[in-house]
Structure 1
């Protein structure tokens, strides 16, 4: 992993902890707050993957159009 990947994962961890604190402030259960923040982080990871795939397909389409 390069430095930018480490930075991204550190930022994701900070966001996850922030979500945990917000949810824990709204509920009384640490377990539910942890599960909700974990679920939101999983959704964020899937969203990041989807955006990467979309950018890659767009880049390939643009390269194909430039060749023609």
Structure 2
């Protein structure tokens, strides 16, 4: 009885492992397909980050200007 139960548990764990791997692979493929590429990365990622962090850059510039 316990051997059959352990085998069923191992089968369930194995199937869950395979299912999570398939879902993870699909998520990676879909995510890679929709990722911005090339100039879209610059326009959509770097420009907003430059706007956000420009104040930090300005403060660093003025703090090191007279050294």
Query: TM bucket by the smaller chain?
Result: 0.5 to 0.7
Q: Which has the higher contact order (CA 8 A, sep 6+)?
A: 1
Structure 2 Cα separation of the partners of residues 59 and 39 of structure 1? 30
Which runs of 5 or more structure 1 residues have no equivalent in the other structure? 1-28
Q: CA RMSD in A?
A: 1.3
Structure 1 Cα separation of the partners of residues 17 and 26 of structure 2? 14
Aligned pair 1:61/2:24, yes or no? no
What is the TM-score with the length of structure 1 in the denominator?
0.52
Structure 2 Cα separation of the partners of residues 54 and 40 of structure 1? 21
Structure 2 Cα separation of the partners of residues 60 and 38 of structure 1? 33
What is the TM-score with the length of structure 2 in the denominator?
0.53
**Structure 1 stretches of 4+ moved >6 Å:** none
Aligned pair 1:44/2:19, yes or no? no
